[in-house]
Amino acid sequence: MPTLIEEATRRRTFAIISHPDAGKTTITEKLLLYANAISLAGSVKARKAARHAISDWMQMERERGISITSSVLQFEHLGSAINLVDTPGHADFSADTYRTLAAVDSALMVMDHSKGVEPRTRKLFEVCRLRRLPVVTFMNKLDRHGLEPLALVDDVAATLDLRIAPLNWPVGMGRDFRGVVELATGTLHLYATGEHHGQQQAEAAQLPWASDEAEEAVGAAMHAHVSEELELLAEAGDGWDPDAYMSGDLSPLFWGSAMTNFGVEPLLGFISRHMAPPAPREPEEGRAVSPADDRFTGMVFKIQANMNPRHRDRVAFVRVVSGHFERGMDVRIGRTGEKIRLSNPHSFMAQDRELVTGAWPGDIVGVHDSGNLRVGDTLAGGEPLRYTGIPQFAPEHFGQMRLKDPLKRKSLDAGVEQLSQEGVVQVFYRGIKERQDPYLGVVGLLQFEVLKERLKNEYSVQADLVSLPFKHARWVGGDPAGVAWLRGRSDYVHVIDRFERTVVLAEREWSFNYALEHAPGLELYDIEPLD
């Protein structure tokens, strides 16, 4: 029987982050391919492809070729148990990504080497920095021409204020791309383009870089050019430092092409052997909880309804923080103290699931939720415990749904309520008793399209969206006198969220500044206050 420490130590739980179209979902597929978790990789880009990316399981994801919701993918490789979370790349679904980054121990940052650090990449990296997450960088699309490697490394380091330690180095790019050199061993991983368009593992040969065979394989001019770059790296580059990586101060860098499988195998080997294992987590009160602590604790970071539409199920994704999770165990919800039984837990390969009897720190399990749980809840055996929650950001776009068939009112209300609990949309009511036709808020407009599609496909509800003029929302708090001043003003739109917290809506941010100037002690929050 393995020990708790042994099982926790071999877990690797990480998220993949990137700017849209950098190849995030493709690298996810290829990691699964090289770990033998799947036998044939799909492509979200191929117009005539018979398969889709396994992590993009929602109908709208497959139609548009984008990731809309986070997917959990679990597999084993080289003795490590890997929990990979593929996150949405589009900024409109950023809230889902932020929630995921609260549940992982590290991140894989994928970049397009022809573009370097893009705005979305920078924003997501800053979230990782705030959480002190170790970050591994994969420079993708070397099968296309892009920026010069040395200049690109300098740019990434300067833009992100991050030390970069290349662990391998590209040999050419575009049509001249020949593979990568492993710096630690001086080994050339020479790849041959196969006939399967990246759907199967690429054949690779290994040669000593300092050999006539390597020079002949890549050409004398290319060999001389890359050798000069390797000398510069040895003299002036940042070397590999495991402690600096674990503290988030240094990022190991890999090069390759996920589409054609170049460089995927070395990356997967590093993930399995060296990526950050589960770390202690700080509760709201008391000492940090170590993964090796005997008591089970876990955090709900995602809720997903209707993964199986035929059963109208609702699954809470729980990151195991400490102790051993067992099927059928009783736990308490930290927010309410309520006791619930965690029956029928599952592990995941995107939409596909498998019943599990146990799980260890770092693992992600899905448990049936009858409506008791919220995103950010802590589950614990014994006395209730609360980890720092996962807040939502204030929406920037607002609207209301207008039914095409009035008889579908109950279905619309149920769908909006369930999807708001997932985080697809935020719901605001005009009063405690005024629950019909709520105001709906989203961070990005694509979320409204997702809402309409899911209402149609999962709840058989067809409705049109009517835009509202508001552009800003703030949760209200602070001194009671200031709150009373705001509530007494008829020129401010007051609503409540689904937890009955007061929210004020405005068309211009100036309205909030005026209120803060004239209402003593008033506080307005653009991130929802935690209970």
User: What digits encode the pLDDT tens for the residues 339-379?
Assistant: 999 988 988 775 677 888 999 999 999 999 888 898 889 99
pLDDT at residue 198 tops 70: no
Give the model's pLDDT for residue 511.
94
Considering only 86-90, 94-98, 357-361, which range has the smallest mean pLDDT? 86-90
User: Distance between CA atoms of 524 and 288, rounded to whole angstroms?
Assistant: 31
Give pLDDT, residue 250: 97
For residue range 310-332, what is the model confidence (pLDDT) as tens digits?
656 788 999 999 999 999 999 99
Where, residue-wise, is CATH 3.30.70.3280 in the chain?
Answer: 397-525
Would you mind telling me the total number of residues written for the chain in this entry? Answer: 531
Q: 108-117, 121-130, 264-273: which has the minimum mean pLDDT? A: 121-130
The answer to whether the CB of 524 falls within 8 A of the CB of 493 is: no
**The tokens of 139 are what?**
């420079």
Q: Compute the average pLDDT of residues 119-148.
A: 92
**CATH homologous superfamily for 6-97+105-274?**
P-loop containing nucleotide triphosphate hydrolases (3.40.50.300)
Would you state the pLDDT for residue 490? 87
Cα–Cα distance, 66 to 369 (Å, whole number): 27
Q: How far apart are CA 170 and CA 173, in angstroms?
A: 7
Rounded to an integer, the average pLDDT of 497-521 is: 93
Q: How many Cβ atoms from other residues are within 10 Å of residue 232's Cβ?
A: 10
Give the residue range(s) of CATH 3.40.50.300 domains in the chain: 6-97+105-274
E-only strand ranges, 260-396: 297-305, 314-322, 325-326, 329-333, 339-342, 346-349, 352-355, 358-359, 364-368, 378-380
Residue 429 in this model has a pLDDT that exceeds 70? yes
Kindly tell me if the per-residue pLDDT of 197 is higher than 60. no
Phi, psi of 191 (to 5 degrees): -105, 145
What pLDDT score was predicted for residue 523?
95
CATH number of 397-525: 3.30.70.3280
Mean pLDDT check: name the lowest of 135-149, 200-214, 346-360, 456-470.
Answer: 346-360
Mean pLDDT, rounded, for 414-439? 87
What three-state secondary structure class fits 42?
A: coil
143 contacts 177 by C-beta, under 8 angstroms: yes
Gap between the Cα atoms of 180 and 255, Å rounded:
7
Q: Which two tokens stand for residue 96?
A: 């889902």
Token pair, residue 316, equals 């809470």
Sheet holding 187-191, edge to edge: 168-171, 179-182, 187-191, 204-208
pLDDT band, residue 69 (cuts 50/70/90) = low
Tens digits of residue pLDDT in 35-61:
988 755 553 333 333 344 444 445 554
175, 160 contact by CB (below 8 A): no
Per-residue tokens: 528: 């929802």
Query: What pLDDT does residue 57 have?
Result: 42
d(CA 269, CA 182): 12
CATH of 297-380, one of 3.40.50.150, 2.40.30.10, 3.40.50.80, 3.40.640.10: 2.40.30.10
The CA-to-CA distance between both ends of the chain, in Å, stands at: 40
Cβ count near 159 (within 10 Å): 14
Burial string for 374-405 (b: 16+ CB within 10 Å, else e) reads bbbbbbbbeebbbbebbbbebbebbbebebee
262-319, pLDDT tens digit by residue?
889 999 999 999 999 999 999 988 899 999 999 999 999 988 877 666 656 788 999 9
Contact 398, 439 (CB under 8 A): yes
For residue 251, list its beta bridge partners: 164
Q: What's the confidence (pLDDT) of residue 477?
A: 94
**What is the model's pLDDT at position 90?**
61
DSSP class of residue 406 equals G
| pLDDT cut 90: percent of the chain above it | 62
Q: Where in the chain is the domain with CATH 2.40.30.10?
A: 297-380
Compute the C-alpha angle 337/430/481, nearest 5°: 75
Q: Is the pLDDT of residue 228 over 90?
A: yes
What's the angle, vertex CA 464, arms to CA 474 and CA 94, rounded to 5?
45
Q: Would you state the pLDDT for residue 379?
A: 97
**pLDDT beyond 90 at 169:** yes
- Beta strands 329-333 and 135-140 are unpaired
Residue 3 CB contacts under 8 Å (≥ 6 apart), including other chains: none
Structure confidence at residue 245 (pLDDT): 97
Query: Residue 70: what pLDDT?
Result: 66
Using DSSP, state whether 475 is helix, strand or coil.
strand
pLDDT of res. 63: 56
Element (H, E) at 241: none
Which of 165-179, 234-248, 424-438 bottoms out in mean pLDDT, i.e. has the lowest?
A: 424-438
Q: CA 35, CA 25: separation in Å to the nearest integer?
A: 16
